[in-house]
Amino acid sequence: MLEDFINAFANFKRNKIRTILSLLGIIIGVASVIVIMSMGTSSTQQIQDTFGSNGLDMVSVSSGFKRKKREAISLLFNESFRQDLFNRVENIKKVWYKNTCSMTLSYGDTSVSITGTAVETDYLQEYGLKLSAGDYFTVTDNVMGTQKIILGSEIATSLFPNGDAVGKVVNVVVSKVSFSFTVCGVMKEQTSGMENTTSGAYITRGFYSKKIKANPDAATIMVQAVSKEKTTELVTTITEYCEEVSGTEGSVNVTSMQTIIDQISSITNTMSIMLSAIAAISLLVGGIGIMNIMIVTVTERRQEIGIRKALGASPAVIRQQFLIESASITLMGGTIGIIIGILVSLAVEFVRSLSFVISWQSCIIAFVFSVFVGIFFGLSPASRAAKLDPVAALA
């Protein structure tokens, strides 16, 4: 077999132009598959980087807008609902309630209008949101309704250009009522999915329920799954539970960052596979070209085949010789195609300013498929060579 490989490459050197033309279809096909799959993988990675890794185990539940049945009831996100949800739906680690309100923050001559969020103790930590300065809310802060506030990074910079926000007192106006809040922390700017770490602010829900709206129902429920792998399943079970309780579809909007990422990634992967399948057609076209070249090669080398048979070479040996020669072309084309595909992928990702993620799986699949194409399309010419009558071949 090694001798057949050596002979194959010697024949390629004798017919360089023919060999190069035979290689082109394989090289283009393999390189195209790798580039397309790598772009799809890089796009998926960019999506995950954009949304971040925080909060992937969180499911957001808010009131829906559709009531398809007249007898349907509106869901109230109160303590009774929270307890019932936790007890009846599996894979829930904890249920967090939160509310939002418009507020104007001012310090000195600077003021900003934002949407503030009232949260419960430990919610920010569990979500994975980090502070660049200061401390999170404590259990006491929430129970007592302490007038403390955590600012988004851009808000803190706007109000305190010198970066000394922690410990300062800001004036907060909510529904025309003025409050004094002490800044206890500043959010670190980060990709945070459904939370705003730059232009938002957080207060305790304890204060919200005592001073802004007495005994409020939650505007939004954040349900934490036992693991992020269970998040997508939890979205479905919560939706089914709420439809059962309310008696109608569309009673709630249930979303999660993990579900959104999975859906977008699924679309991206589907498109990549479809485009790769189209690109792989060039491999088949290249295979047909190889078959054509091998038929010509067999015709040109009839005398060589006749001599080998006259010296005792069996049909199996002749068949193997030409199969190896056919496979060698695609082996070379596949290797060159992988190198070109990786280089082109690097260039494309550099131009698009994306992190380079090579799909090694696509490299292996494209390479194996290219070798298979060489064997498949080389089988017929090899069989034709093996069946040649040595007398006729030497004539």
Give the model confidence (pLDDT) of 44-95 as tens digits. 777 666 666 677 888 999 886 655 555 557 788 888 999 999 999 999 999 9
Q: Which helix (H) or strand (E) holds 347?
A: helix 315-351
Pull the structure tokens for residue 10.
């010697």
Cβ 19 vs Cβ 366: under 8 Å: no
Radius of gyration of the chain (CA): 34
Average pLDDT over residues 337-363: 78
| Residue 138: how many other CB atoms lie within 10 Å | 15
**Are 23 and 339 spatial neighbours (Cβ–Cβ below 8 Å)?**
no
- Spell 146-180 as b/e; 16+ CB within 10 A means b: bbbbbbbbbbbbbbbeeeebbeeebebebeeeebe
Task: Look at residue 4 and tell me whether its pLDDT is greater than 70.
Answer: no
Mean pLDDT along residues 262-290: 77
Tell me the pLDDT tens digit for each residue of 194-239.
Answer: 788 888 899 999 999 999 988 788 888 999 999 888 888 999 999 9
Question: Looking up tokens 């796009």, which residue turns up?
Answer: 43
Residue 249 has pLDDT above 70, yes or no: yes
DSSP single-letter state for residue 183: E
The length of the chain in residues reads 395
Task: Please state the φ and ψ torsions of residue 224, each to the nearest 5 degrees.
Answer: -95, 125
More confident residue, 99 or 328: 99
Confidence at 9, pLDDT banded by 50, 70, 90: low
Q: Comparing 218 with 286, which gets the higher pLDDT?
A: 218
Q: Which pLDDT score is estimated for 376?
A: 81
The 3-class secondary structure across 355-388, one letter per residue, is CCCCCHHHHHHHHHHHHHHHHHHHHHHHHHHHCC
Q: Read out DSSP for 217-258?
A: PPSEEEEEESSGGGHHHHHHHHHHHHHHHHTSTTSEEEEEHH
Please state whether beta strands 92-107 and 252-256 pair in parallel, antiparallel, or not at all (unpaired). Answer: unpaired
Stretch 266-288: mean pLDDT: 77
Mean pLDDT for 30-37 is 83
Q: What crossing angle do the helices spanning 360-386 and 315-351 adopt, rounded to 10°? A: 150
Token duo for residue 392: 């006729």
Beta partners for residue 180, in sequence order = 171
Please determine, for residue 130, whether its predicted confidence score (pLDDT) is greater than 80. yes
Q: Tokens 């283009």 label which residue?
A: 28
Q: Examine the pLDDT at 139 and tell me if it is beyond 90.
A: yes
The yes-or-no verdict on residue 181 having pLDDT over 90 is: yes
Residues 36, 337: contact at Cβ < 8 Å?
no
Q: What is the pLDDT of residue 148?
A: 95
pLDDT in the model for residue 72: 59
pLDDT band at residue 359 under the 50/70/90 scheme: confident
Work out the mean pLDDT of the chain and round it to a whole number.
82
- Quick one: pLDDT band at residue 103, thresholds 50, 70, 90? very high
- pLDDT of the residue at 391: 66
What is the model's pLDDT at position 348? 77
Asked whether the predicted pLDDT for residue 356 surpasses 70, the reply is: no
Which amino acid is it at 9? F
Give the position of tokens 């290219």: 370
6-20, 98-112, 152-166, 254-268, range with the lowest pLDDT: 6-20
The confidence score (pLDDT) of residue 185 equals 94
Taking CA atoms, 17 is separated from 11, 119, 329, 338, in Å, by 12, 72, 13, 21
HSE-CB for 199 with a 13 A CA cutoff = 6
Bridge partners, residue 133, by sequence: 186
- pLDDT classification of 124: cutoffs 50, 70, 90: very high
When mean pLDDT is compared over 75-79, 137-141, 242-246, the highest value belongs to: 137-141
Rounded Cα distance, 134 and 271, in Å: 46
Q: Would you say residue 355 has pLDDT above 70?
A: no
pLDDT for residue 8: 61
More confident residue, 356 or 83: 83
Using DSSP's 3-state secondary structure scheme, residue 173 falls into strand
How far is residue 17's CA from residue 187's CA, in Å, rounded to a whole number? 64
Q: What angle do CA 371, 380, 391 make, to 5 degrees?
A: 130
What's the confidence (pLDDT) of residue 250? 75
With 70 as the cut, is the pLDDT of residue 131 above it?
yes
Q: Is the pLDDT of residue 14 over 80?
A: no
- Return the structure tokens found at 59: 């499911």
Pick 143 or 313 by higher pLDDT.
143
Q: Where are the beta strands (DSSP E) in 75-123?
A: 92-107, 110-119
